[in-house]
Amino acid sequence: MKRIFTRISVLAGICLLAINVAFAQNITVKGRVTDGGDKSTIPSVSVLVKGTQNGTQTDATGAFSINAPANGTLVFTYLGYVTQEVAVNNRTTLNVVLQSSSQQLDQVVVVGYGTQRKIDVTGSVASVKGEEISKQASVNPISALQGKVAGVNITNSGTPGSSPQITIRGTGTIYGNTGVLYVVDGVWFDDVSFLNPSDIENLSILKDASSQSIYGIRAANGVVLITTKKGKSGDPVISYNGSVGYKKVTNQVEMANATEYATIINELISLNDPAATPLFANPASYGVGTNWYNQGFRNAMQTNHQVSINGGTEKTTYNFSLGYTGEDGIVKTQDYKRYTAKFSNDFQVLKPLKVGYTLSGTAIRTNDVDGGIFRQLYAAGPVVPVYYADGSYGDANDFSLGGGNNFNPQVTLDFFNQKSKNYRFTGNVYAELTFAKHFTFRTSAGGEFAQNEVRGYAPVYQATQGQRNTQSKLDVRRDENRNWILENTLTYKNTFGNHNITVLAGTTAQRRKNYFLNSSALDVPFSSDGDLYLALGTAGKSTVTDGGSLTTSASYFGRVNYSFKDRYLLNATIRRDGASQFYGGGDLWGNFPAVGAGWVISNEEFMKDQKVVSYLKLKGSWGKVGNAGVPVNPTTLTIAQGGNLVAFYNGVGYTGANINSLVPSFLNWERTVGTDLGLEAKFLNNRLSIETGFYNKKTEQAIFEIPILTSIGTASGRLIGNQADFQNRGFEFLASYADQTKSGFSYSISGNIGINNNKVLSVVTGLNPIYAGGAGIANGALATRTIQGGPIGSFFGYQVAGIFQNTAEVAASAQSASAKPGDFRYVDVNGDGAIDGKDRVVLGNPNPKYSYGLNATFGYKQFDLSMDIQGVADVDVYNANIAFRFGNENFSKDFYDNRWRGPGTSTTYPSANVGSTNNAAPNSFYVEDGSYIRLRNVQLGYTLAPSLMSKISLKKVRVFVDAQNAINLFGYKGFTPEIGGTPTNAGIDANVYPLSATYRLGLQVTF
């Protein structure tokens, strides 16, 4: 009996083993996917084996076939439908019915310190997926946002690796920090140039005060939340993403050639002295001459490579990536190289306890160019050769030119030697404990260590008469930043009956430390291998300056999110911040409250039977945020010694000292108060989505500099204080339509527009204005004015009424004492018979009123196409290049062709004497329309068919070609109207870095 029982047990064990083996084997599963409403088949549905990268899509008839474990689970995903998971259970045929997600209540967006369902958001939050960012040929991830989000204006620079300027709903400060706050995996940053765009999972932009207030201390200019990619459970997945391409200058400004240059220089000499002998006896003999832009510019190579590994188990997940970006500048000798590494781990230590960390490192190295090279390339005379026949440099002085144009740009390119190195290490570690069913406690610590070093060496050389150096010099500048942040949050989340509530409470402590060292040494000998040190210089001929800053802050915050029946929404936030920079003379602590409410109208009973609107939500919010981005201890009175100051004691002279500037005895926080109203709607079974919003953002007690008389004893002639109120008021609109045909053609088209009006509401001094905008302006004149009732940084100067044609017109004008034929005729605004500062008027606005974007994606079978169009309108720029002259600089071809050269030849362009005091004064001629529209990005991709990839043991292979900034339409006469600058100096083109177009070929492979 015992033997029989043993045999039965063995047989049963074998049967169980066979069953387990059978269920562990892969089987072929076939089926069809249909719509739960009209019962039609759905093509291009994503079918994925859960926990793996093994997937396929349904064909034009909704059919699919996939190899899957007999005990596995298939995940079916399609736009506009509820994602469905179906267990295989050893079945070879599965027919699946997908239900339309009429309200998409489960869509989640990232907000401050957590996530929210899209339906629950009462503020203005825009989300962009990481895959949309990585499609762009941009080194900086923020550049890729251009044109994608309403109300967000981004100004790019052509400099390799540079950080773009980003403005969210207008400029709201002048003296304070104008940059947005970046929060990357919980750590605060001022810029994200260290981030590889391919490492980003999601990016959220908090645009209104209600959503920003949770970051009160630094949220006045907006908040950008970035979540990097994390590990996912499943088999290891290895991905490669790479591209190679080149950049070339677009819209290159055409300059006068050598013959034209010689002709107009002769004209200039004659205008100033009719009896003078022409400098160039035979202008035609110089031919075309040197095209200095062609000499200094090049087609610049760009390459990018990233490898990542992702995977894990139910208990542990990991993500690791390595990246390299190499980008040459369009100016010869300039280049940029960036190396990135990122590693993250998450561990489910116990069922209620999860811990993890993210570490990243970035190393950047650049070969820099002289900041004045663009001025030189613009102004250099084309009659000057690059080299003479004997190989020596062409010398402008050999042509008796003199004046300001005494340089050969090639000399600058050859002898300028400056290299930069930047290292940054960032990290964050966290622990998350769930207890008592509804509570989650999270603690995290993060920070960064960054070091930047710039070494510039000027050797001894003799190239031309004006370009030489008799004493070598080595400059070394080093900056270090050591910042950390500690945060603790406790979250209560519960749903009971028709009520859904989430309560958050938390604390934050931060420290930001900066240290800098500037040093130089003379007579440092040249070293061909680049080993240059300060100690090699002559003793006693070196200087060292060091300094730094330390700021700390502490914060307490809380938030309540409540919804009833998914219809009525309430959001309330409070944050209290203390900042050390206000210690001893300011309002050390600031309170930043906010409240938002929403009404999901489509969930009301009276909306149930209608078929037009599938989703409709009305929302509104109010909030207050702050700006602590001011210099440390702004209320501390400082003095400085100077050689021009002398103090006598007992008849002996000593070096004196003076007050740098007057400071207030007390300084309040700069606060921004915002109101937001919005509407969200979906139509046509969620295929058409619309979002609109109105906002009113007011900066109160803005920290502002007002001019004072230097006669009272200050060096700067300005007083800092809470002295102004600014306002940005606008409207935003976003519409998108997405659908897919039964033949498998899918498409999505979206458009957005933002309208913003910037205005100075009040200044303590009333109508006393702030003048600025002198950088790059001829004669040091100030070209902008900020005054009560107008926008920040308006262009300001004389209104041009035409060109004087003869001496009689000059004699009969208010400018008879200073003008001559060919000069600008200015409007006598106040009619007093004289042209002076009282006749200046507002000439333009550098703050764009309209910004817009159009984005589209298309897919058919293995092909995909994406396209982004972006632009701005109703904005002005100031072309300072034309009049910034010292005598014999070159002219643009446009100016040469249209210049005044005698009575009746031009009524709009002045003579060659444009650099004279009368003509160079800021005026309406130099203010041009800065509107533009461009094809920001277009990309065509092809993904190999799944059947082919399975044969070569790959999960995905995609090749693509793309172009960035390939088409640019604008009327501005410079390289690009996309010109940045500080708030009171914005939009002034003093030889900005030119715009470039990028063309790439790329490959994406998943193993």
pLDDT in tens, 91-136: 998 999 887 664 444 578 899 999 898 888 999 999 999 888 988 8
- Nearest CA to 359 out of 187, 601, 594 is that of 187
Bridge partners (DSSP) listed for residue 134: none
pLDDT in tens, 775-796: 888 878 999 999 899 999 999 9
Dihedral of CA 536/540/542/547: which sign? positive
Do 940 and 961 form a contact (C-beta atoms < 8 A)? yes
Strand order in the sheet with 73-77: 55-57, 46-49, 73-77, 84-87
Position 446: which residue type? Answer: G
Bridge partners (DSSP) listed for residue 90: none
At 482 the pLDDT is: 96
The CA distances from residue 744 to 60, 915, 950, 1004, in Å, are: 6, 63, 22, 23
Q: How confident is the model at residue 720 (pLDDT cuts 50, 70, 90)?
A: confident
pLDDT in tens, 865-908: 999 999 999 999 999 999 998 888 999 999 999 999 999 999 99
Say whether pLDDT at 638 is over 90: no
Element (H, E) at 19: helix 2-24
**Cα angle value 400/402/403 (rounded, 5°):** 155
Give all domains of the chain, ordered by start, each with its CATH number.
2-99 (2.60.40.1120), 108-230 (2.170.130.10)
| Comparison of pLDDT for 749 and 37, the residue scoring more | 749
The CA distances from residue 717 to 483, 661, 714, 1006, in Å, are: 34, 7, 6, 62
At 839 the pLDDT is: 96
Say whether pLDDT at 704 is over 70: yes
At 658 the pLDDT is: 64
DSSP-derived pairing of the beta strands 125-129 and 152-155: unpaired
Structure tokens at 981: 């600058």
Element (H, E) at 131: helix 130-134
Query: What average pLDDT does this structure show over 473-482?
Result: 95
- Contacts by 583-587 with C-beta closer than 8 Å and gap 24+? 583/633, 584/633, 584/635, 584/636, 585/633, 585/634, 585/635, 585/636, 585/663, 585/664, 585/665, 585/666, 585/667, 586/634, 586/635, 586/666, 586/667, 586/668, 586/669, 587/666, 587/667, 587/668, 587/669
3-state secondary structure of 978: coil
Do 911 and 823 form a contact (C-beta atoms < 8 A)? yes
Bridge partners (DSSP) listed for residue 154: 166
At 523 the pLDDT is: 92
| Comparison of pLDDT for 648 and 206, the residue scoring more | 206
DSSP-derived pairing of the beta strands 613-627 and 639-649: unpaired
At 833 the pLDDT is: 92
Backbone angles phi, psi at 343, to 5 degrees: -140, 130
pLDDT in tens, 806-818: 999 999 999 988 8
At 955 the pLDDT is: 83
For residue 714, give the DSSP letter: B
- CA dist., res. 871 & res. 95, Å (int): 47
At 23 the pLDDT is: 38
Per-residue HEC secondary structure of 199-237 comes to HEEEEEEECCHHHHHHHHHHCCCCEEEEEECCCCCEEEE
Position 606: which residue type? Answer: F
At 596 the pLDDT is: 97
- CA dist., res. 984 & res. 757, Å (int): 16
Least confident range of 25-39, 166-180, 500-514, 869-883: 25-39
Say whether pLDDT at 711 is over 70: no
The CA distances from residue 413 to 372, 888, 996, in Å, are: 11, 21, 20
Backbone angles phi, psi at 390, to 5 degrees: -85, 5
- CA dist., res. 302 & res. 335, Å (int): 10
The CA distances from residue 351 to 347, 434, 490, in Å, are: 10, 9, 18
Least confident range of 7-11, 495-499, 536-540, 871-875: 7-11
Least confident range of 2-11, 569-578, 763-772: 2-11
Query: What is the residue-averaged pLDDT of the chain?
Result: 89
- CA dist., res. 663 & res. 720, Å (int): 6
Q: How confident is the model at residue 17 (pLDDT cuts 50, 70, 90)?
A: very low
Say whether pLDDT at 144 is over 80: yes
- CA dist., res. 421 & res. 439, Å (int): 46
At 937 the pLDDT is: 95
| 843 φ/ψ sector (left φ>0, alpha ψ -120 to 50, else beta) | alpha
DSSP-derived pairing of the beta strands 26-35 and 93-98: parallel
- Nearest CA to 424 out of 353, 348, 481, 473 is that of 481
Do 634 and 581 form a contact (C-beta atoms < 8 A)? yes
pLDDT in tens, 32-69: 898 776 566 787 788 999 888 788 888 877 889 999 99
At 713 the pLDDT is: 54
Structure tokens at 160: 């390799």
Our CA dihedral for 532, 533, 539, 540, rounded to 10 degrees, sits at 110
Say whether pLDDT at 10 is over 60: no
What pTM did the predictor assign? 0.88
Query: What average pLDDT does this structure show over 417-431?
Result: 96
Residue environment code for 530-552, b if the CB has 16+ CB neighbours within 10 A, otherwise e: eebebeebeeeebeeeeeeeebe
Which range among 16-20, 319-323, 464-468, 861-865 has the greatest average pLDDT?
319-323
Least confident range of 289-293, 510-514, 786-790, 933-937: 786-790
3-state secondary structure of 956: strand
The CA distances from residue 449 to 107, 192, 354, 363, 421, in Å, are: 36, 14, 26, 12, 14
At 989 the pLDDT is: 94
Say whether pLDDT at 635 is over 70: no
Q: Determine what percent of the chain is predicted with pLDDT higher than 70.
A: 90
Query: What average pLDDT does this structure show over 627-644?
Result: 65
- CA dist., res. 909 & res. 914, Å (int): 9
- CA dist., res. 160 & res. 367, Å (int): 10
The CA distances from residue 45 to 39, 62, 98, 747, in Å, are: 15, 8, 10, 14
Which range among 129-138, 158-167, 347-356, 771-780 has the greatest average pLDDT?
347-356
- Nearest CA to 528 out of 475, 422, 457, 455 is that of 457
Say whether pLDDT at 528 is over 80: no
At 63 the pLDDT is: 86
At 12 the pLDDT is: 40
Structure tokens at 550: 């330390």
At 791 the pLDDT is: 95
Q: How confident is the model at residue 4 (pLDDT cuts 50, 70, 90)?
A: very low
pLDDT in tens, 671-699: 899 999 999 999 988 899 999 999 999 99
At 379 the pLDDT is: 93
Say whether pLDDT at 979 is over 60: yes
At 245 the pLDDT is: 96
- CA dist., res. 32 & res. 621, Å (int): 46
Say whether pLDDT at 8 is over 50: no
